[in-house]
């Protein structure tokens, strides 16, 4: 979209430059027309010229030598053709190169009698008008081409900025704006500010990832200790019901910490892809949930794919937990493989989802209408969707015709 926007800006600039060139030509034409002589004034000028030519030749008309000399000087000096005719219209003599262009005719009046006429014809270059028009078109084309180059130069920094923004949005923290060796002007100032921002973001995310690793270690250590203490108390004959409650609370706290850490990994883009086997990771999720291995519906095809093992395990655990908490328990965990994606789907035995609930099920802490009053879907499905999207896949819910629902997510095979 951004590329289209910069292209639109470039076209807009070229269009405005072109419109400016056309408008400038129109203004110049209007000025030339305004300053040109009025038709009546031009007519009076021609009449005055005819009278002057007639008077000049009237003085020497009866002297053939002087008449010819005047005609020759006029033809040479004004680069015109001079044709002299007698009173009957017969040609007397002609001077200058022949032409078929425009001209004027002046009567020669000697003592009140018309003794003949003088015709002056200037050569008309038939191609001069077209040459002028073509010259104007060529000049406008050159200016418009220069406008295109200028528009490209003006918008090129925006192309670089767009490329930087796209790379940064895709998680490339090494992305920087490169405007060449000698950037100048406002784009250089913006590029410097964005590069400084990107550097700070990269540092903050690196610090966040380090903090995430430290917090993960620090929180999991006391949880492990609590589990050991529960086992010690059980060996010493403590109340089983109390120990079960403590163990359940520790397990819930451990699951919550896992979800929060998975959420943090997604926020900091801390994915660590490795080669996984879909059947194996699904079987491990069923075992960790304490469910029968027969619930796994595996595939016989090549089930290898690249993904973050911690996040995929967390997504599978959330699907199974959601089925147990809101869907009457899981009845199957199906693994599906195609050329581009691997899909994990959990079928449950619950009442299914309302249509409105399906649209909101992947929002965090949505109240589940189909699961009884007061229940919420929590972070589980929201986290499943985010994990799927981080791996180029998707998450969805479908109610089955025979009852119950299927909640699934896919991961793109890299």
Structure confidence at residue 197 (pLDDT): 87
Structure confidence at residue 229 (pLDDT): 75
DSSP 374: T
Structure confidence at residue 307 (pLDDT): 92
- Among 49-53, 163-167, 331-335, the range with the most confident prediction by mean pLDDT is 331-335
The two three-digit tokens of residue 342, written as one number:
């691997």
Instruction: Please state which CATH class domain 2-128 belongs to.
Output: alpha beta
| Residue ranges matching CATH 3.30.565.10 in the chain | 271-412
200-235 exposure pattern, b = at least 16 Cβ within 10 A, e = fewer: eeeeebeeeeeebeeebeebeeeeeebeeebeebbe
Assign 4 a pLDDT band (cuts: 50, 70, 90).
low
- Among 54-58, 69-73, 259-263, 396-400, the range with the most confident prediction by mean pLDDT is 396-400
Quote the CA–CA distance of 50 and 162 in Å, as a whole number: 72
Q: How far apart are the first and last CA of the chain?
A: 26
Q: Which CATH number fits domain 171-270: 1.10.10.10, 1.10.287.130, 3.20.20.70, 3.30.110.40?
A: 1.10.287.130
CA 272 remoteness from chain centre: 31
Q: 271-412: what fold? A: Heat Shock Protein 90 (3.30.565)
Q: Give the containing element (helix H, strand E) for 396.
A: strand 395-399
Residue 154 has pLDDT above 90, yes or no: no
Residue 186 has pLDDT above 70, yes or no: yes
- Among 164-168, 252-256, 401-405, the range with the most confident prediction by mean pLDDT is 401-405
Dihedral over alpha carbons 258, 262, 265, 271 (to 10 degrees): 110
Residues 350-359 pLDDT 10s: 888 888 888 7
| Residue ranges matching CATH 3.30.450 in the chain | 2-128
Structure confidence at residue 330 (pLDDT): 92
Residues 26-54 pLDDT 10s: 777 677 666 655 555 556 667 777 788 88
State whether residue 182 is helix, strand or coil.
coil
Quote the CA–CA distance of 152 and 158 in Å, as a whole number: 10
27 or 284: which carries more pLDDT confidence? 284
């Amino acid at each position: 979209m951004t590329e289209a926007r910069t292209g639109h800006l470039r076209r807009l600039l070229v269009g405005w430059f072109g419109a400016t060139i056309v408008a400038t030509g129109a203004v110049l034409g209007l000025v030339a027309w305004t300053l040109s002589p009025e038709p009546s004034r031009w007519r009076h000028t021609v009449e005055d010229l005819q009278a002057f030519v007639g008077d000049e030749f009237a003085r020497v008309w009866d002297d053939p030598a002087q008449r010819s000399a005047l005609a020759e000087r006029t033809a040479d000096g004004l680069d015109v053709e001079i044709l002299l005719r007698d009173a009957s219209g017969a040609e007397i003599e002609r001077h200058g190169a022949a032409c078929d262009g425009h001209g004027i005719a002046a009567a020669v009046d000697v003592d009140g009698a018309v003794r003949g006429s003088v015709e002056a014809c200037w050569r008309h270059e038939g191609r001069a008008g077209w040459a002028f028009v073509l010259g104007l078109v060529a000049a406008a084309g050159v200016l418009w081409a220069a406008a295109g180059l200028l528009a490209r130069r003006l918008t090129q920094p925006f192309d670089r900025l767009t490329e930087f923004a796209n790379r940064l949005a895709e998680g490339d923290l090494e992305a920087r704006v490169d405007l060449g060796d000698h950037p100048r002007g406002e784009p250089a100032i913006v590029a410097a500010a964005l590069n400084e921002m990107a550097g700070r973001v990269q540092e903050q995310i690196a610090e966040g990832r380090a903090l995430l690793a430290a917090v993960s270690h620090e929180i999991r250590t006391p949880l492990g200790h609590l589990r050991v203490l529960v086992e010690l108390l059980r060996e010493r004959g403590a109340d089983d019901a109390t120990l079960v409650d403590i163990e359940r609370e520790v397990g819930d706290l451990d699951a919550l910490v896992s979800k929060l850490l998975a959420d943090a990994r997604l926020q900091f883009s801390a994915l660590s892809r490795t080669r996984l086997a879909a059947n194996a990771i699904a079987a491990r999720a069923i075992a960790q949930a304490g469910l029968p291995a027969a619930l796994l519906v595996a595939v016989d095809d090549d089930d290898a794919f690249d993904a973050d093992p911690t996040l995929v395990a967390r997504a599978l655990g959330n699907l199974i937990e959601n089925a147990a908490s809101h869907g009457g328990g899981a009845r199957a965990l199906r693994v599906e493989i195609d050329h581009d994606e691997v899909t994990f789907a959990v079928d449950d035995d619950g009442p299914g989802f309302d249509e409105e609930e399906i649209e909101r099920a992947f929002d965090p802490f949505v109240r589940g209408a189909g699961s009884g009053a007061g229940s919420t879907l929590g972070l589980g499905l929201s986290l499943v969707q985010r994990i799927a999207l981080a791996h180029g896949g998707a998450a969805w819910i479908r109610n089955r015709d025979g009852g119950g629902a299927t909640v699934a997510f896919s991961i793109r095979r890299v």
